[in-house]
Amino acid sequence: MNKRRPTRQVTLGDQRVGFVKIGGGLNGTEPAPVTVQSMTTVFTHDVKACVAEINKLTAAGCDVVRVAVPEKKDTDALREIIPQVRVPIVADVHFHFQRALEAVESGVHKIRLNPGNINDRKQVIDVIQACKARKLPIRVGVNEGSIIERKDKQRRLKELGQFFSDNKRGYLLAIMITKLEEYLDIFYEQDFHDIVISAKSMDPVTVIEAYSEISKRFDHPLHLGVTHAGPKETGCIRSVTALGTLLANGVGDTIRISYASDPVFEVEDGLELLYCLGLRERKGAELIACPTCGRIQVDLISLVQDVRKKLAAEIKMPIKVAVMGCIVNGPGEAEGADVAVFAGDRRGIIYVQGEKVANVPEEQILDKLLEECKKFEDRVKRGEVALGEKKVEIIPPDPIGELGSGWQKIAESKSNATTLTIGKS
Ligand code: SF4
């Protein structure tokens, strides 16, 4: 992991919804944790549905929520929406700069402008001045889909010619950066620096290259995203390839994973990415599970899904929980888990930090595992134990003997073994 790139910090929010900082490290600021954003999918003017979706995203851990405001009835609706939510709201403005001015008046916390479709200098200055008066940041977001000039025919012809040349990606980057520079000059002339930048493409390699270049040229925080990433099933890989690479290189201050799915998945996967990279402190349990193989002893795939849902709903502490399909490799693969279950012969043996606490039939594994997780969480709260403390030891023939399976394989692979150890040594 590379050190995070220092940026000019921006702050959005208010006393009621709270303040969220993006970026930092310059001008005496501490870098803020990387934040997760998402966007609503319902009509913004459908106040009830919009509030419900924003609150669902907030409950999932979303730090900032963006809403589309294509019509005046949408910016009007913000006056009713904002008092009912507990998260900073960003108005996503395309084509009509008036929507930005209306959104500012309606109490929004940040504006997103796209240089590809709001580029009239006077209009941009009006938006900048309105945001400056309210101390609101602006995200300048260029997108692959709208970066090629549409109005000026000659410029469009030239840009399209470059775009469809052999070095398509290179020219796309050049156009993105040139337009960003031109656009940001207007902001600098107005002495406006509360800026966040994004430069999205559907191609992860272009995203990596674009943000890497931009990070060298500007000191504003970067909002990372892969646009039009597709459904969760494939969009996840597309997004994580680009965002994970950039974040590991120290580039990126806020992220949005985009799916053609329920946006709650965007938040869950965005947070998981940040947890995996150690960029956010994990909230809730961490689940480790084996991929299963020919040694499998229970219906582990279903069990893991059930455990995942229960842990997400009921455990608030970062307890490490392992669900392993057999006793052959399970203990080693669950190394470091606080609570672990190893399956064998349609049963599950449950361990809590070194102590075997249960041996139950397959149908009782889920409930018993959750019960032990809750008990463990309570003990941590009372200060009796600490997370990640103590090693788990499994001493053959217990539990292998009890399970009535696996021992032969253990004996073959570890002929002189007397102790299997799980956890920190
Ligand atoms: S824990 Fe057992 S069942 Fe699961 S992948 Fe490892 S060896 Fe296979």
Contact indicator for 395, 402 with CB cutoff of 8 Å: no
Query: Do the domain assignments include residue 1?
Result: no
Residue 398 has pLDDT above 90, yes or no: no
Q: Are residues 272 and 340 in the same domain?
A: no
When pLDDT is averaged across residues 371-400 and rounded to a whole number, the result is 78
Q: Are residues 251 and 327 in the same domain?
A: no
Residue 286 has pLDDT above 50, yes or no: yes
CATH number at residue 182: 3.20.20.20
Query: Do the domain assignments include residue 323?
Result: yes
Cα separation, 331 vs 297, whole angstroms: 14
Q: Within 10 Å of residue 283's Cβ, how many Cβ atoms?
A: 12
pLDDT in tens, 153-171: 676 667 666 666 666 777 7
Q: Are residues 129 and 226 in the same domain?
A: yes
Residue 292 has pLDDT above 60, yes or no: yes
Burial group, residue 339, by CB count within 10 angstroms (0-12, 13-18, 19+): buried
Query: Do the domain assignments include residue 5?
Result: no
The share of the chain scoring above pLDDT 90, in percent, equals 67
Residue 67 has pLDDT above 50, yes or no: yes
Q: Are residues 269 and 406 in the same domain?
A: no
- Per-residue confidence (pLDDT) for residue 417, from 0 to 100: 38
Cα separation, 388 vs 48, whole angstroms: 43
Q: How confident is the model at residue 145 (pLDDT cuts 50, 70, 90)?
A: low
- Per-residue confidence (pLDDT) for residue 162, from 0 to 100: 67
**Ligand 1 mutation target, pool 288, 293, 297, 342, most atoms within 8 A of CB:** 293
The answer to whether the CB of 292 is under 6 A from ligand 1 is: yes
- Per-residue confidence (pLDDT) for residue 148, from 0 to 100: 63
The answer to whether the CB of 334 is under 6 A from ligand 1 is: no
Query: Do the domain assignments include residue 135?
Result: yes
Range of the domain at 290: 286-422
Query: Do the domain assignments include residue 92?
Result: yes
Q: Are residues 205 and 82 in the same domain?
A: yes
Of 227, 250, 276, which closes a domain? 276
The answer to whether the CB of 24 is under 6 A from ligand 1 is: no
When pLDDT is averaged across residues 53-72 and rounded to a whole number, the result is 97
Q: Share the mean pLDDT of the chain.
A: 88
CATH number at residue 417: 3.30.413.10
Residue having the nearest C-alpha atom to atom 6 of ligand 1: 329
Residue 408 has pLDDT above 70, yes or no: no
Cα separation, 326 vs 227, whole angstroms: 41
- Per-residue confidence (pLDDT) for residue 157, from 0 to 100: 62
When pLDDT is averaged across residues 342-364 and rounded to a whole number, the result is 88
- Per-residue confidence (pLDDT) for residue 356, from 0 to 100: 85
* Helices 300-314/365-381 angle, 10° precision: 30
The answer to whether the CB of 361 is under 6 A from ligand 1 is: no
Cα separation, 180 vs 41, whole angstroms: 27
- Per-residue confidence (pLDDT) for residue 421, from 0 to 100: 40
Cα separation, 230 vs 245, whole angstroms: 19
The share of the chain scoring above pLDDT 70, in percent, equals 84
- Per-residue confidence (pLDDT) for residue 406, from 0 to 100: 45
In the reported structure, the alpha carbon of residue 380 is separated from the centroid of ligand 1 by a whole-number distance in angstroms of 29
Residue having the nearest C-alpha atom to atom 5 of ligand 1: 292
Q: Are residues 266 and 301 in the same domain?
A: no
Query: Do the domain assignments include residue 147?
Result: yes
In the reported structure, the alpha carbon of residue 336 is separated from the centroid of ligand 1 by a whole-number distance in angstroms of 17
In the reported structure, the alpha carbon of residue 330 is separated from the centroid of ligand 1 by a whole-number distance in angstroms of 6
Residue 423 has pLDDT above 60, yes or no: no
In the reported structure, the alpha carbon of residue 295 is separated from the centroid of ligand 1 by a whole-number distance in angstroms of 6
Q: Are residues 108 and 199 in the same domain?
A: yes
Query: Do the domain assignments include residue 281?
Result: no
Cα distances from 186 to residues 68, 117, 119, 193, 210, in angstroms, run 24, 15, 10, 11, 21
Of 276, 305, 334, which closes a domain? 276
Tokens read off for 344: 């064998």
In the reported structure, the alpha carbon of residue 322 is separated from the centroid of ligand 1 by a whole-number distance in angstroms of 12
Q: Are residues 249 and 343 in the same domain?
A: no
Catalogue the long-range contacts made by 189-194 (C-beta closer than 8 Å, 24 or more residues apart). Answer: 190/125, 190/128, 190/129, 190/132, 192/128, 192/131, 192/132, 192/138, 193/8, 193/220, 194/10, 194/131, 194/135, 194/136, 194/137, 194/138
Q: Are residues 255 and 353 in the same domain?
A: no
Of 232, 254, 276, which closes a domain? 276
When pLDDT is averaged across residues 25-38 and rounded to a whole number, the result is 97
When pLDDT is averaged across residues 36-44 and rounded to a whole number, the result is 98
The answer to whether the CB of 325 is under 6 A from ligand 1 is: yes
In the reported structure, the alpha carbon of residue 79 is separated from the centroid of ligand 1 by a whole-number distance in angstroms of 54
When pLDDT is averaged across residues 308-325 and rounded to a whole number, the result is 93
**Is 25 strand, coil or helix?**
strand
Q: How confident is the model at residue 420 (pLDDT cuts 50, 70, 90)?
A: very low
Residue 246 has pLDDT above 80, yes or no: yes
Q: Are residues 303 and 418 in the same domain?
A: yes
Q: Are residues 230 and 325 in the same domain?
A: no
Say which residue the tokens 């459904």 belong to. Answer: 231
For the ranges 31-35, 292-296, 410-414, the lowest mean pLDDT is seen at 410-414
Q: How confident is the model at residue 397 (pLDDT cuts 50, 70, 90)?
A: very low
**Ligand 1 mutation target, pool 288, 295, 422, most atoms within 8 A of CB:** 295
Q: How confident is the model at residue 416 (pLDDT cuts 50, 70, 90)?
A: very low
The answer to whether the CB of 293 is under 6 A from ligand 1 is: yes
Provide the number of structural domains found in the chain: 2
Cα separation, 43 vs 197, whole angstroms: 25
Strand partners for 351: 340, 356
pLDDT in tens, 124-134: 999 999 999 99
- Per-residue confidence (pLDDT) for residue 2, from 0 to 100: 87
- Per-residue confidence (pLDDT) for residue 8, from 0 to 100: 98
Which tops the pLDDT comparison, 178 or 223? Answer: 223
Query: Do the domain assignments include residue 4?
Result: no
Cβ-proximal residues to 39 (8 Å cutoff; 6+ apart), any chain = 65, 66, 67, 68, 92, 256, 258, 263, 266
Q: Are residues 96 and 172 in the same domain?
A: yes
